[in-house]
Amino acid sequence: MAGGGKREARSRFERIYALLRSRICLLDYPPGMRLREEDLAEEFATSRTPVRRVLARLEDEGFLRSVHGVGTIVTDIDIDSLQQVYQLRVELAELVGKLSPVRPDAARLEEFRALLDRCDRLKGEPDAREFARINMDFFHLLMTLTANEPLREFSERLYYQTTRIWLKTAARLTRYEDMLQAEIRFFRHEVADIVAAIESGELETVGHIRRSHVAMSFARLYAEAHPQSP
């Protein structure tokens, strides 16, 4: 076996899937947008069939909704309907570091530290999109701290479902520069805390830190959407 045929087909599927999901989560495909299977097929130089395979999965995961005769529509999100998702995300965050914890090696640890530099650079030139990307890389690094496959899979699902709401909320604010700056500071603090916890080998502490930060992040978003009454 030359080792390429079938694996190539599979990797292509994963590539298209990851790309489309990324576009949805970065709001390149904003909620409500209609995707055309034929356009996507043309972009990836294939027919509708493999594209439909990807769209079906994204629909199963709640990112899309295909309606016969109408189109494939990016699902809408709002902070209220995501409350349950966040509640579960908070719980799962704590489980990372508790179930099948994996101590990172030197190289992995260096990747964590590199995020601190990226945060600092971002502070000089704030950009919501770049922030979202760093946040995503950080998340994936965190997932390497547990070997529990189902936990990783579910956490990833919840993460991608909730990450859109941040960019959407930020885009709505008239002066979102302040919020962005503040969020970047919060985030850098979280990364620093977690790096410290990792360095002292307290993987379970990582889970607790992460849990509280996810919860607080949601609280801030929620407050932003629901101006408090006296």
Partner DNA sequence: GTGCGGTCATTTGTACACAACATCATGCAC
Partner DNA sequence: GTGCATGATGTTGTGTACAAATGACCGCAC
CB nearer its own copies, residue 91 or residue 110: 91
Q: How far is the CB of 36 from DNA (least distance, A)?
A: 5
Which residues in 43-62 contact DNA (CB under 7 A)? 46-50, 52-53
Q: How far is the CB of 147 from its own copies (least distance, A)?
A: 7
- Which among 24-32, 64-72, 123-131, 204-212 is the span making contact with DNA, rule CB under 7 A? 64-72
Backbone dihedral angles phi then psi of residue 76, each to the nearest 5 degrees: -90, 160
Select the binding partner of residue 1 from its own copies, DNA, none (C-beta < 5 to 8 A, by kind). DNA
Which residues contact its own copies by CB under 8 A? 5-6, 9, 53, 56-57, 60, 67-68, 84-85, 87-88, 91, 95, 99-100, 147-151, 154, 157-158
Is residue 124 within the footprint of DNA (CB under 7 A)? no
Contact present, 134 and 182 (Cβ < 8 Å): no
Which residues in 68-87 contact DNA (CB under 7 A)? 68-72
CB nearer DNA, residue 67 or residue 106: 67
Rule CB under 7 A: choose which of 36, 103, 140, 189 binds DNA: 36
Q: Please give the residue ranges that form the binding site for DNA (CB under 7 A).
A: 1, 5-6, 9, 12-13, 34-38, 46-50, 52-53, 66-72
